[in-house]
Amino acid sequence: MGSSTASRMRWAMIALAFSATLINYLDRQSLSVSAPILQIQFHMSSVGYSRVLFAFMLAYTIMNGASGVLIDRLGTKFGYGLFVAWWSLCAMMHALARGVWSLGVLRFLLGLGEAGNWPGAVKVVAEWFPAEERALASGVFNSGSSIGAILAPPVIATLVLRFGWRSAFVAVGSLGLIWLAIWSAFYRSPALKADTVVLAAPPSLRLLLRSRFVWTFTISKIFVDPVWYFYTFWFPEYLFHARHFDLASIGRYAWIPFFVAGVGSVGGGMIAKGFLSLKVPLSGARKAAVTVAAAMMALAIPAVLVPGSALSIALVSIAMAGYTAALANMLAMPADVFPAGSVASVYGLASMGSGFGGMVFALMTGWLVERYSYVPVFWLFGLIPLICVLILWFFMGRLEPDSNSFKESTAILV
């Protein structure tokens, strides 16, 4: 394959990862947009809603530990496709929910499948992109989460208002099956050059758990990813109860922060490239970009205090762009340290921290909203990203290839 053809192919492959991520978030957002209606129909309190979210995050956490390993062992094409098929069918099954318990069970099953998206997409990036382009490529595919969240409020609100809430779950779930047909027909791993190192097998779980990077990366995600889960699952509910929006107004305005967040996904890669152009080492550039992004996320605090809904949405938009800018760089970190054949395993294990944080903070959010208001919740999610930054700078160490992992994972030269 010529270099120009390979260059075109890699962007086509990342486009497939982008579209899977977009569909992932349409499936995920179907609940949050429908939540005001479901809370009334199922007599579901804020605490009850938080428990449904907990069920999703519990499954997401459990499967994160296995999804990356499965994708590394089954291969990108089959492994990634398997997870998309699972979550798409589970999303469609939400139409069968009859109450809070059945909704919780279905969210648990959805979480098992959706856990495979980021390890699979990160593996696509590792297979097709060099180190200097991974943050940008990660930002591109991850912007699918923002685009999916942009489309979700107007699309799902329209479906719910015209055809009922069950139609929304069936419609968005079927999109994943269409994607699966395209993925199965077109995805392939890049051709190997004569001097390419071939991975004999992913590194053992024992080796990964001994890695300082894996532990610090996992813990750092406990304090940053729940920020996004909060906005994804609670923002429409916040607009409904705190800002007194009806479902039609949520459909008109709830997409705005996610649109800005999509810009942040690409912007995070550009921030890192800017630091690299100033001759900042790769490790420092990644961490500095996350630090800038964490400062943006702190703007969640005034968002809940201002009287006007428009200014509140604007500040939330900047905070969400901060999260996606941080994530674009954190998605690239495993490939900076580990070989391509193990990055899905690494990211999957680290995402268990994300799921654990999501579970804890989901329950905390429901409790705080029910007993107080959204004010302490926005303070919480404005400040915890600073803990992530401290972990990256003071405990993670330099981002550089782990000699032990490469030694164990690499076998032969073709």
Return the half-sphere exposure (C-beta side, CA atoms, 13 A cut-off) of residue 99. 1
Percentage of residues in the chain with pLDDT exceeding 90? 35
Q: How confident is the model at residue 189 (pLDDT cuts 50, 70, 90)?
A: confident
254 three-state secondary structure: coil
Q: What is the pTM of this model?
A: 0.73
Torsion angle, CA of 142/145/151/152, rounded to 10 degrees? 170
Q: At what angle do helices 46-74 and 76-93 cross, to 10 degrees?
A: 160
Q: How far apart are CA 185 and CA 178, in angstroms?
A: 11
DSSP-assigned letter for residue 243: S
Q: Does the pLDDT at position 414 exceed 50?
A: no
Tell me how far the alpha carbon of residue 198 is from its chain's centroid: 29
Q: How far apart are CA 113 and CA 99, in angstroms?
A: 22
* Max Cα-Cα span within the chain: 64
7 three-state secondary structure: helix
Task: Count up the domains in the chain and report the number.
Answer: 1
Helix (H) or strand (E) holding 81: helix 76-93
| Residues 232, 29 contacting (CB under 8 angstroms) | yes
Q: What is the CA radius of gyration of the chain?
A: 20
| Identity of the residue numbered 250 | I
| Residues 165, 37 contacting (CB under 8 angstroms) | yes
Can you give the residue range of the structural domain that contains 237?
Answer: 3-413
Give the model's pLDDT for residue 368: 94
The 10s digit of each residue's pLDDT in 7-33 is 678 888 889 999 999 999 888 888 888
Q: How far apart are CA 30 and CA 149, in angstroms?
A: 9
The 10s digit of each residue's pLDDT in 265-311 is 778 878 888 898 888 998 899 999 999 999 999 999 999 999 999 99
| Residues 120, 71 contacting (CB under 8 angstroms) | yes
Q: How far apart are CA 249 and CA 247, in angstroms?
A: 5
Please give the structure tokens belonging to residue 338. Answer: 């580990």
Please give the structure tokens belonging to residue 300. Answer: 């969640």
Give the model's pLDDT for residue 5: 55
Give the model's pLDDT for residue 410: 41
Q: Show contacts of 206-211: CB within 8 Å, 24+ apart.
A: 207/404, 207/405, 207/408, 208/342, 208/345, 208/346, 208/349, 208/405, 209/349, 211/337, 211/346, 211/402, 211/405
User: Of 120, 28, 109, which Cα lies nearest the Cα of 81?
Assistant: 120
Number of H helices, E strands in the chain: 18, 2
410, β-bridge pairs: 199
Q: Lowest-pLDDT range, 77-81, 106-110, 329-333?
A: 329-333
Higher local confidence (pLDDT), 315 or 193:
315
255 three-state secondary structure: coil
CA distances from 113 to 13, 59, 76, 149 (A): 21, 9, 15, 18
Phi, psi (5° rounding) for residue 299? -70, -5
| Identity of the residue numbered 18 | F
Helices (H), 164-211: 165-186, 205-209
Q: How far apart are CA 65 and CA 234, in angstroms?
A: 26
CATH value at residue 202:
1.20.1250.20
Residue written as tokens 């318990």?
101
Q: What is the rounded average pLDDT of the residues 362-373?
A: 89
